[in-house]
Structure 1
Amino acid sequence: MREQGYESITTELKWVCDKSHHSAVGQSFFFIGSVVGTVIFGNLSDRIGRLPALLLATLAGASGDFLTSFVYGFPLFAFSRFVSGLSTDTMYYLMYILVFEYLSPKRRTFGLNIILAFFYCFGLMTSPWLAIWIGNWRHYLWLASLPALGVLAYPLFICESAQWLLTKKRYERAVQCLKWVAKFNGRQVEDSVFDEFVKYYREKGNEELKLTSDEDTFMGMFRTPHLRRCTLSLLLKSVIITLSYDVINRNMEGLGTSPFKLFSYTSINYLPAGWTILLLQNNIGRKGMACGALLVGGIITTVTGFLIAFLDPKENALLLAVMIGLGRYGVTVSYDAEIQYAAEIIPTSVRGRALSNIHVVGLASNSLVFYVIYLAKFYKPLPSIFISCLMFVGAGLCLTLPETLNRKLPENLAEAEIFVKPGQCFSLCPKREKISSTTI
């Protein structure tokens, strides 16, 4: 059956009756690919650099989509979906980290969230209409894979992360990148400033080498008590937010309108979600933003669940669409606030690996999405009630994490252990901390 004139792979290849499971199995391979890709490219980003890992991840995903468009049988379909899944979310996380590590604390919230508020929102809103306009899944995948070729030009316009280069003691290359950025921004910086900068980090690196010769790893985050507690909280929060995000975004059918149109219309929530973070996060702090978003999102989700259960979808299509949009708004604010919050807590030396591993744990919760949605068979508001309870637990977990606003962020595990000590937790009031001019 076609939806809005769009011919899907299920329709074209007649994957019905005894073959109806092919699409679901293919999506399972896509999920496996996303887990494998997140781990591989996350580790690569800390070993070979953010930029090379980003290029490889993006090209892998595009290759998978392009290959999928030529399949006519299930085995090749499963393989191509696995390849395509390698870059899912990974290329987003790697670009996020690269931008994050170049922005000053003052501009970080604006720079990161304005991209999501406009460009990501635009992509989500237009992609369903492009699918309807193109009308065929093969042609749609061709169109979707072509823009990825643009990453080949990234090295001409984007520098490697200077922060990552400093953790690898590649000081000269870090200075080259910073000089290029200064030139692009029209700023004149004396060579003596860079000399002092390199001297500071050389001395700091030598001191750290005397204390320990071990390289920082993700597992090292579990060796010390305060950092271990913080890491476990981040892992559990990732499960809660990812599961909530996916359940709310996927539960689009049976609501009185086309899933294509409903997805497009409710995607506009990314615009106010981005602006909400821009207006509030630097004032109430990362912890207050993350905690408040989960709390409010949980309340909205509960109300929406009961409205869907007791109102006629056809007669109240507009009201339900608005409430679903508000639900997506709440969970989107939570999701976006969580990414920046986690990135600021995790030290530079393991940021790529740690964020990817935390994300993988969150992705694992995807296997529960359809079971949560299935709870509606027993009591229609039950999925919303379940997700709301999880979001309230997530809000409580935020209280166990340190505030990062106006504080110098950790660059290694030793600094992170001090950064997350209990005295910095269980408070929603941001503290001001003087940041040295020699740090970036």
Structure 2
Amino acid sequence: MQVVARERKNTMLEVNKILEKCGDCNRLQFLMLFLFSFINVLSAMHYYSQTIITFLPKYWCADGLASAEEAPSKSSCLPIDYNETSSDSCERYDYELYMGYESYASDMGWICDQAWKLTIGQSMFFVGSVVGTLLLGYLADRVGRLPILIVANVIAMGGNMLTIFGTTLPLFCLFRLISGFATDSNFVMMYILVMEYMRPSLRTVGLSICIGIFYCVGSMGAPWIAVLARTWRGFLIATSLPFALVPLFYFIVPESVQWLISKQEYEKAVACLKRVARINGRQVEESAYQEFIEECKFSQQHLKVAPNLLDLFKTPRLRRNTLILFFKSMVITLCYDAVSRNVQGLGISPFVMFTLSATTILPACLVIILLQDRIGRKAMASISLLLSGIFISVTGAILFAVASSAERSATLLVTLSVIGRFGITVAYNSAAQYATELIPTCVRGQGVGAVHVMGYAFTFFSAFILYTRTIFSPLPEIILGFISLLGAGLCLLLPETLHRTLPTSLEDGEKFGKNEKWYTFSFMEKRTQSVAALATQNSTMKSHSNSVDSAAYF
């Protein structure tokens, strides 16, 4: 019986047990949360730099227009005195800069018949994010999380600094592609490391507070850094230089113990744990480390070596869960991108609109803190998408109903945009932890990267969806609302991860949540499941109930 019980032990539980001895809520964890907060500020400014450097101010043709004359009320590519018999070409344009900020578009004159250049350059950022996230995610499962964290942030700094010299279309496209290459990996690697070293019961609270406060600060502060810098070049320099501090993380942040175990690098894993214990001021007997190594070796006797992303599609349940995660990421990222980019043309300064929109990040994270560990990951994902779908659909109906009211439309559009950003931010942030917990440790870097890539790739369609407004006013909201509701339904087919021992191997992933029903939620378990069913489902966890709080395991 002792052998059978030992065979059922999950490596995750062994790591959690030894980490508790080394300290899972102490100096190192608070230091890592501080560094994660710094990463959040950098990531926010890096992601939104794509929008801020391309702000398009009001412009008009200056041909034949005296400097003292009043500017037109709206942007125009045509000469002021244009008529059917005159020329529609313009040699020189004037701009009304927002708060004196000169963007790339106004500096390069990429407007009107040159506007396509800016669109192509912007698209290269997302092309880079797709390729970079996949490649860096693959490398993270080969060389480790910590090196890729550093490399990704150095690439982000290099791409933005090089963009300063991108004054031609080929160079602009190349440098924006390099900058986009780091997007997501520069954030998610630190996210994974912090989650692994945090006490399970504190992960949602700790991570959500860091994201809520500091990603919000970075997002709100980015446009005002641009105003202070006055030019897009100054903005890129100011937001890129802090990335130079990230390589110093190598001397503080330990490598992923779970990744080292999956690579059977047991001695290096113990070295990381000893480093954790030393920083936390804990004394751990050498015999505890040796016992940990022996238990890990025993649990991995029959594990497949070096699995890859494609292995997620070889078994039916893993394949289904992975595809649902892909679709959910597509829906959420598409809606998030469309809402966050909608800061111009609303009747107020895009800097003010950008700041107002970013204020929703903290309340959204607080909602996640209050609810996610109470109602469970599945309920949070499905309910947030359901409410987002309903809200987006209602927004379309309201916009259609008040389209003729010019005086009310600006205020209403701003209000709806801010509320819409709040709803989709809740869904976006809660989805990140859910995907990270569901994908087995052995392919987590590649899997999480692929999920995010599918989301980024789907943003290519946002422009086409928004363009359907020219066909029928509320059509974009109808499309976005429908796919949000569909995503909410598919989330019901995913297993719950709250209070579960998370999968380490592909075999664990295939069996994970096998007996769950689509209508079963974590907060309903005590009322909907028998004691025998709960005992069967959580048999592994009950043997470790004194050391496991189990909000999430890596």
- TM-score bracket relative to the smaller structure: over 0.9
Aligned to 1:267: 358
Letter in 2 for 1:279: L
Mapping for residues 32-431 of structure 1, pairs under 5 Å: 32-208=127-303, 212=304, 214-309=305-400, 310=402, 312=405, 314-315=407-408, 317-421=410-514, 423=516, 425-429=518-522
C-alpha displacement of 1:231: 1.0
Distance 1:323 1:18 in 2: 32
Q: Is the 8 A contact 1:5 1:135 kept in 2?
A: yes
C-alpha displacement of 1:428: 1.6
Spell out, residue by residue over 1:313-367, the C-alpha distance to the aligned partner (whole angstroms, 9 max, x if none). Answer: 6546445433321111110110111110010000111000011112111111111
Evaluate the alpha carbon distance shift between residue 368 and residue 42 of structure 1 in structure 2; reply closer, same or farther with a 3 A threshold. same
More displaced, 146-155 or 7-16?
Answer: 7-16
Please, what is the CA RMSD of the aligned residues?
A: 1.9
Q: Is the 8 A contact 2:334 2:455 kept in 1?
A: yes
Distance 1:259 1:308 in 2: 20
Distance 1:254 1:60 in 2: 33
C-alpha displacement of 1:133: 2.1
Distance 1:249 1:56 in 2: 27
Aligned to 2:90: none
Spell out, residue by residue over 1:364-383, the C-alpha distance to the aligned partner (whole angstroms, 9 max, x if none). Answer: 11111011111222232221
Distance 2:478 2:346 in 1: 18
Distance 1:292 1:117 in 2: 20
C-alpha displacement of 1:422: 5.0
Distance 1:395 1:187 in 2: 45
Aligned to 2:78: none
Distance 1:317 1:19 in 2: 29
Letter in 2 for 1:77: F
More displaced, 66-75 or 328-337?
Answer: 66-75
Q: Is the 8 A contact 2:104 2:232 kept in 1?
A: yes
Q: Is the 8 A contact 2:340 2:357 kept in 1?
A: no
The runs of 5 or more residues in structure 1 that have no matched partner are none
C-alpha displacement of 1:105: 2.1
Letter in 2 for 1:407: R
Evaluate the alpha carbon distance shift between residue 185 and residue 319 of structure 1 in structure 2; reply closer, same or farther with a 3 A threshold. farther
Distance 1:260 1:110 in 2: 30
C-alpha displacement of 1:186: 3.4
Distance 1:257 1:114 in 2: 30
C-alpha displacement of 1:182: 2.6
Evaluate the alpha carbon distance shift between residue 91 and residue 313 of structure 1 in structure 2; reply closer, same or farther with a 3 A threshold. farther
So what's the TM-score if we normalise by structure 1? 0.94
Distance 1:58 1:176 in 2: 25
Letter in 2 for 1:186: G
C-alpha displacement of 1:424: 5.7
Paired residue secondary structure (2:346): coil
Provide runs of 4+ in structure 1 moved above 6 Å. none
Letter in 2 for 1:152: P
Letter in 2 for 1:15: W
C-alpha displacement of 1:426: 4.0
The runs of 5 or more residues in structure 2 that have no matched partner are 1-94, 526-533
Spell out, residue by residue over 1:161-220, the C-alpha distance to the aligned partner (whole angstroms, 9 max, x if none). Answer: 111111111112112212222332333333332222111101112233xxx4x4211111
Aligned to 1:6: 101
Letter in 2 for 1:291: S
C-alpha displacement of 1:275: 0.5
What is the aligned-residue identity percentage? Answer: 42
Evaluate the alpha carbon distance shift between residue 57 and residue 80 of structure 1 in structure 2; reply closer, same or farther with a 3 A threshold. same
More displaced, 9-18 or 159-168?
Answer: 9-18
More displaced, 309-318 or 359-368?
Answer: 309-318
Q: Is the 8 A contact 1:251 1:373 kept in 2?
A: no
Q: Is the 8 A contact 2:137 2:449 kept in 1?
A: yes
